[in-house]
């Protein structure tokens, strides 16, 4: 209650679900995404339903001037952000050799550079206050070879583990959330309609369940949250799988 959460990629998918569940817990919100119209619509619903304050900050995080506005908002000591959710991201086809290299560079920037910058900005203010929570939305792909997406998410998990160990004793926790395949519009933005992803029905998760379980782990200060027992088991098995088998597993789905 009385806390403010800033969420990137908040206009849809997991970002919108984090906004909804945090608003339901009484948190005021700062919603960040490129689509101002979608943000305004979501903000209106959350204000009406939960009575919280919602600030809309439309920004393309791949454009330095717009990104820096979000960095400044996170670091603003007069309007403290207690919870930072680094959720913005997008996917690319697994065929790295056929992807445009500039698309790959932007992919890396959004999944690594942007959360690193925002985490750096948040940490300074949070450590001064002696409390705060940072949530980095990663993926189970961090544990299974899956082109540059898995590599980016692997960095985010490793960084979050280190940061949580480093700063938890000073009141600031950092949690990497690693969902499996989740019903959002993530794959549709890659041009894949429902049923075209190549993923068995049993492997799909609901966004509401992913967010609820991850927030319980965040509240406990867990460094790595893997929502659902099926994906916890898969990650455990992947650790012991031969590299060639792990790579084949990573090729499943799109």
Considering only 109-123, 125-139, 159-173, 233-247, which range has the smallest mean pLDDT?
A: 233-247
Rounded CA separation 115/99 (Å): 23
Digit-coded pLDDT (tens) for 217-226: 999 999 999 9
Digit-coded pLDDT (tens) for 29-41: 999 999 999 999 9
Digit-coded pLDDT (tens) for 80-93: 999 999 999 999 98
Rounded CA separation 168/106 (Å): 31
What the block records as the tokens of 63 is 């454009």
User: Maximum distance among all alpha carbons in the chain?
Assistant: 52
The mean pLDDT of 43-55, rounded to a whole number, is 98
Catalytic residue among 18, 50, 149, 181: 149
What the block records as the tokens of 20 is 């909804």
Question: What local confidence, expressed as pLDDT, does residue 238 receive?
Answer: 72
Digit-coded pLDDT (tens) for 185-207: 554 554 544 443 445 566 679 99
Rounded CA separation 19/13 (Å): 10
Listed residue (149, 138, 155, 151) closest to 214, CA to CA = 138
Per-residue pLDDT for 211 more than 50?
A: yes
Non-local (6+) Cβ contacts of 10 within 8 A are 16, 18, 19, 29, 31, 32, 33, 39, 42, 87
Question: What local confidence, expressed as pLDDT, does residue 185 receive?
Answer: 58
- What stretch of H or E contains 173? strand 172-177
Listed residue (45, 40, 32) closest to 85, CA to CA = 32
What the block records as the tokens of 230 is 């099926």
What the block records as the tokens of 254 is 């799109």
What the block records as the tokens of 164 is 């949580």
Under 8 Å between Cβ of 218 and 155:
no
- Going by pLDDT thresholds of 50, 70 and 90, the confidence category of residue 183 is confident
Global confidence as pTM = 0.88
Question: What local confidence, expressed as pLDDT, does residue 190 receive?
Answer: 45
The mean pLDDT of 101-126, rounded to a whole number, is 97
Q: Is 181 a catalytic residue?
A: no
Rounded CA separation 39/31 (Å): 7
Question: What local confidence, expressed as pLDDT, does residue 2 receive?
Answer: 60
- What stretch of H or E contains 137? strand 132-137
CA atoms 225, 228, 233, 235: torsion sign: negative
Higher pLDDT, 251 or 102: 102
CA 227 vs CA 2, 40, 95, 211: distances in Å: 27, 29, 28, 8
Higher pLDDT, 61 or 250: 61
Non-local (6+) Cβ contacts of 118 within 8 A are 8, 70, 71, 74, 84, 86
Per-residue pLDDT for 127 more than 90?
A: yes
Question: What local confidence, expressed as pLDDT, does residue 188 receive?
Answer: 53
Of all residues in the chain, what percent carry a pLDDT higher than 70? Answer: 86
Question: What local confidence, expressed as pLDDT, does residue 46 receive?
Answer: 98
Digit-coded pLDDT (tens) for 226-242: 998 888 988 887 777 66
SS3 state at 53: coil
Rounded CA separation 221/106 (Å): 30
């Amino acid at each position: 209650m009385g806390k403010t959460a800033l969420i990137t990629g908040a206009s849809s998918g997991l970002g919108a679900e984090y906004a909804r569940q945090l608003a339901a817990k009484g948190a005021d919100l700062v919603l960040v995404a490129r689509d101002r119209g979608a943000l305004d619509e979501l903000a209106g619903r959350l204000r009406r339903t939960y009575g919280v304050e919602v600030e809309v900050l439309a920004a393309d995080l791949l454009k330095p001037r717009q990104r820096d506005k979000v960095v400044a908002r996170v670091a603003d000591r007069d309007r403290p952000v207690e919870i930072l959710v680094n959720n913005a991201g997008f996917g690319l086809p697994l065929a790295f050799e056929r992807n445009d290299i500039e698309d790959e560079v932007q992919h890396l920037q959004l999944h690594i550079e942007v959360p690193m910058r925002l985490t750096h900005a948040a940490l300074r203010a949070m450590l001064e206050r002696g409390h705060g929570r940072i949530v980095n939305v990663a993926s189970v792909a961090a544990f299974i070879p899956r082109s540059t997406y898995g590599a980016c998410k692997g960095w985010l998990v490793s960084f979050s583990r280190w940061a949580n160990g480093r700063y938890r004793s000073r009141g600031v926790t950092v949690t990497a959330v690693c969902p499996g395949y989740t019903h959002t519009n993530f794959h549709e933005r890659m041009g894949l309609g429902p049923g075209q992803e190549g993923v068995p029905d049993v492997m799909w998760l609901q966004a509401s369940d992913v967010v609820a379980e991850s927030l319980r782990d965040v509240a406990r200060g867990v460094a790595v949250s893997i929502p659902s027992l099926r994906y916890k088991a898969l990650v455990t098995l992947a650790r012991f799988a031969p590299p060639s088998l792990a790579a084949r597993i990573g090729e499943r789905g799109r």
